[in-house]
């Protein structure tokens, strides 16, 4: 069943520069989607629209068949989606466990351990973790939330090749084992190789590969 | 994790910021409490001064008004004019004595009686001229209704050592100096007899009191009448009798009131008494003692009021500035929280809770600090004023605490709201786009 659908999405800055020119697609639970494309082609904009962070110039986004604008964008962000960012975006005065607990009432430690962090690392200041470990915490935060959609913006962009490979595998496993709909905007071929479906955004149009 | 738990963790882990804010809050609250308390203590002190430091009203026959004099009478020395206006009579005095707020009254005539010693001896000056026809040199006595209210006793020059003061009821009573009493072996209850040239009479007076304070004041006296130890006080009744005055007719009267606060009201009441209305008297008030004490107190109170206002304004500006600077640096955090589904209200509540959490120990610390420093600040302020007050009783009252902490929390909330607008007014997309 389609979890997230978007039809004829158009987006332009100040009514002039058309970033998206009628983009449509259907996303299902339990799958990892990769969206590729050159810088500035509108990948992050598409992700922002799907996550309810911004409003399209025209077009419609449905979650479980309901228009997210009618549900409310804040409620959509709170209940339906969670984000993973390129620069991890962890709260620096909270430990990894507390960062995960931001989005979940479940015990955070099992999720962190599943992503490879030890108990000791999970209680450390996040700034004392490596980049890969910080991104694992960010993924754990997204996974721990009850949101069925995970939107990842360049999740491996700041990581070395080996770590990027690990993260890509984690995202794929999360989609398959936790039945999440994971949408990753990326330049990474490793991540694209792990994806169940790959889209390419070119000249404001979305093409399935 | 809710906003309050995040606030606790933020305060605990951002130790430098929390400590800095703690000290700022504590300093501002302590300064405000002390200034407010000093202001109240000063107001209380002023009120006490008004109640305890008396004032006086001086009533005098109007000798300067020509219409109060009759036609001139030619005599051997030229033309003399007789005062035809009103005198201060016993009826007038009795009416004034009944007015609410009047605590005492007195009239005196310095040198109204000159007595030559008949059965005792004065201290001698360098030159002694006997112009009483063999009775010895005369010495001036102050004729008084109430010697206690004589300026020498009021200002502490003289002190009653033994016996009592002369009162309006006395007759043939005298106060003499301790030096004179010792010289002549007289004590309270003994009598002295004097000759008065003007009335050509010998008068025996009973010593009702002996005063000190004349010691060392007799140096370089040319005549014995210039020696303070020789001079004393006699009562008004004997004076009237000696000079055959059938009724009290005073040229002036000093009326003492219980507080300087209502001296003008009492003056109006006195002026409107039937016994005084339309009489040819002049009136003046003396609040010199009160003004001497209260003027520096008023200045101190104004200074404290200004201090409270300045502390509040500077404090609010400083806290707002710091919070704006710190909150601008927390855009990323706000974006993360919004992306994690937290709404703006929750983020605002977190910011507010963080500051309120720091303000709680600050409030306790400022209370303790203000209490500890109250007595020292009070003593310092007393030293800095020339009011003559010996103590400024500063107390940190519950009203002061409520005012400082209440207004402080309001200012803090405003500062947090103002600083948070830099983040809260942004849309999630704007914050997130500024993050990467």
pLDDT in tens, A54-105: 889 899 999 999 999 998 888 888 889 988 887 778 888 899 999 988 877 7
pLDDT for B436 equals: 46
CB spacing of B13 vs A83 below 8 angstroms: no
| N- to C-terminal Cα separation, chain A | 21
Which residue numbers in chain B have pLDDT < 70? 48-54, 76-77, 218-219, 289-290, 292-294, 384-391, 428-429, 431-436
Yes or no: say if A135 and A158 are a contact pair by the CB < 8 Å rule: yes
Q: Domain residue spans in chain A?
A: 29-52+73-208
From the list A77, A86, A94, which residue is nearest B339 (CB)?
A: A77
Given A89, A92, A102, which is nearest B1 (Cβ)?
Answer: A102
Distance from CA of A83 to the nearest CA of B (A): 7
Nearest CA in chain B to A125: B13
Main-chain phi, psi angles of A158, to 5 degrees: -100, 10
Contacts of residue A54 in chain B, CB cutoff 8 Å?
427, 429
Would you state the pLDDT for residue B310?
Answer: 87
Give the tens place of pLDDT for each residue, B366-425: 999 888 888 788 777 777 665 555 567 788 888 888 988 998 888 888 888 888 887 777
Tell me the residues of A at the B interface, defined by beta carbons under 8 Å apart: 48, 51, 53-54, 74, 77-79, 82-83, 85-87, 89-94, 98, 101-103, 141, 145, 147, 153
Q: What is the mean pLDDT of chain A?
A: 86
Is B101 in contact with B257 (CB distance < 8 Å)? yes
Residue of B nearest to A94 (CA): B9
Question: Is B428 in the A-facing interface, judged by CB distances under 8 Å?
Answer: yes
Q: Does the global pTM surpass 0.95?
A: no
B9/A145 Cβ within 8 A: no
Write down the residue that tokens 């108990």 correspond to: A119
- Of A84, A67, A102, A90, nearest to A151 by C-alpha is A84
Residue B109, pLDDT score: 83
CA-nearest residue to A95 within chain B is: B9
Inter-chain residue contact A79 with B6, CB threshold 8 Å: no
Identify which of A86, A87, A102 has the shortest CB distance to residue B340. Answer: A102
* Of the partner residues A53, A85, A94, the one whose CB lies closest to the CB of residue B428: A53
Which ipTM value was assigned to this complex? Answer: 0.80
Closest B-chain CA to A79? B341
Q: Does domain A29-52+73-208 have CATH number 3.40.605.10?
A: no
Return the residue of A nearest to B426 by Cα.
Answer: A53
CB atoms A87 and B343 under 8 Å: no
SS3 for chain B, per residue? CCHHHHHHHHHHHCHHHHHHHHHHHHHHHHHHHHHHHHHHHHHHHHHHHHHHCCEEEEEEECCCCHHHECCCEEECCEEECCECCCCECHHHHHHHHCCCCEEEEECEEEEEEEEEECCCCCCCCCCCCCCCCCCCCEEEEEEECCHHHCHHHHCCCCEEEEECCCCCCCCCEEEEEHHHHHHHCCCCCCEEEEEECCCCEEEEEEEEEEEECCCCCCCCCCCHHHCHHHCEEEEHHHHHHHCCCCCCCECEEEEEECCHHHHHHHHHHHHCCCCCCCCCEEEEEECHHHHHHHHHHHHHHHHHHHHHHHHHHHHHHHHHHHHHHHHHCCHHHHHHHHHCCCCHHHHHHHHHHHHHHHHHHHHHHHHHHHHHHHHHHHHHHHHHCCCCCCCCCCCCCHHHHHHHHHHHHHHHHHHHHHHHHHHHCCCHHHHHHHHC
Chain B nearest-CA residue for A103: B340
Tell me whether residues B428 and A93 touch, CB distance under 8 A: no
CB contact under 8 A, B333 and A91: yes
pLDDT digits (tens, 9 = 90+) for B35-48: 888 888 877 777 76
Per-10-residue mean pLDDT, chain A, length 209: 88 76 90 88 88 89 92 86 83 90 83 85 88 85 86 81 80 87 87 89 79
């Amino acid at each position: 069943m389609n979890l997230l659908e978007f039809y004829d999405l158009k987006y332009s800055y100040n009514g002039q520069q058309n970033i998206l020119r009628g983009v449509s697609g259907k996303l299902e639970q339990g799958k990892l989607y990769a969206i590729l494309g050159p810088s500035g082609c509108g990948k992050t904009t598409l992700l922002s629209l799907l996550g309810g962070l911004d409003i399209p110039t025209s077009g419609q986004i449905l979650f479980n068949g309901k228009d997210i604008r009618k549900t409310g964008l804040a409620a959509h962000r709170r209940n339906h989606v969670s984000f993973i960012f390129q620069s991890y975006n962890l709260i620096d005065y909270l430990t990894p466990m507390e960062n995960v607990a931001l989005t979940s009432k479940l015990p955070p430690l099992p999720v962190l351990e599943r992503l490879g962090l030890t108990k000791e690392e999970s209680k450390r200041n996040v700034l004392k973790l490596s980049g890969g470990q910080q991104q694992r915490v960010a993924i754990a935060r997204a996974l721990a939330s009850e949101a069925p959609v995970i939107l990842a913006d360049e999740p491996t962009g700041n990581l070395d090749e080996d770590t990027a490979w690990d993260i890509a595998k984690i995202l794929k496993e999360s989609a398959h084992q936790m039945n999440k709909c994971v949408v990753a905007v990326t330049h990474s071929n490793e991540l694209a190789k792990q994806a169940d479906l790959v889209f390419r955004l070119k000249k404001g149009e979305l093409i399935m590969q | 994790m809710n906003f309050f738990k995040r606030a606790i963790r933020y305060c605990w882990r951002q130790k430098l910021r929390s400590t800095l804010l703690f000290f700022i809050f504590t300093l501002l609250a302590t300064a405000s409490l002390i200034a407010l308390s000093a202001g109240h203590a000063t107001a209380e002190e002023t009120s006490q001064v008004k109640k305890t430091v008396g004032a006086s009203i001086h009533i005098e026959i109007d000798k300067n008004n020509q219409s109060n004099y009759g036609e001139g009478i030619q005599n051997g020395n030229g033309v003399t004019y007789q005062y035809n206006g009103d005198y201060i009579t016993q009826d007038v005095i009795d009416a004034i004595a009944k007015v609410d707020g009047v605590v005492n009254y007195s009239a005196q005539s310095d040198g109204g009686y000159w007595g030559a010693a008949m059965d005792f001896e004065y201290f001698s000056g360098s030159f002694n001229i006997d112009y009483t026809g063999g009775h010895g040199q005369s010495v001036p006595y102050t004729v008084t209704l109430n010697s206690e209210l004589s300026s020498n006793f009021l200002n502490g020059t003289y002190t009653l050592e033994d016996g009592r003061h002369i009162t309006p009821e006395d007759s043939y009573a005298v106060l003499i100096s301790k030096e004179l009493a010792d010289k002549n072996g007289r004590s309270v209850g003994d009598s002295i007899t004097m000759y008065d040239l003007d009335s050509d009479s010998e008068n025996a007076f009973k010593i009702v009191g002996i005063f000190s304070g004349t010691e060392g004041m007799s140096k370089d006296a040319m005549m014995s009448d210039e020696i303070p130890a020789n001079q004393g006080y006699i009562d008004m009744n004997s004076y009237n009798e000696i000079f055959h005055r059938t009724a009290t007719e005073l040229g002036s009267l000093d009326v003492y009131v219980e507080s300087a606060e209502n001296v003008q009201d009492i003056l109006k009441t006195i002026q409107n008494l039937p016994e005084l209305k339309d009489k040819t008297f002049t009136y003046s008030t003396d609040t010199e003692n009160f003004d001497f004490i209260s003027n520096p107190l008023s200045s101190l109170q104004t200074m404290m009021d200004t201090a409270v206002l300045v502390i509040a304004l500077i404090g609010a500006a400083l806290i707002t500035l710091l919070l704006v600077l710190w909150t601008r640096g927390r855009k990323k955090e706000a974006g993360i929280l919004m992306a994690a589904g937290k709404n703006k209200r929750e983020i605002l509540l977190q910011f507010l809770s963080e500051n309120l959490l720091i303000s709680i120990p600050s409030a306790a610390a400022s209370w303790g600090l203000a209490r500890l420093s109250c007595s020292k600040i009070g003593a310092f302020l007393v030293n800095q004023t020339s009011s003559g007050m010996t103590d400024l009783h500063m107390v940190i009252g519950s009203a002061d605490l409520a005012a400082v902490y209440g207004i402080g929390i309001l200012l803090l909330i405003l500062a947090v709201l103002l600083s948070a607008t830099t983040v809260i007014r942004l849309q999630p997309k704007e914050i997130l786009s500024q993050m990467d």
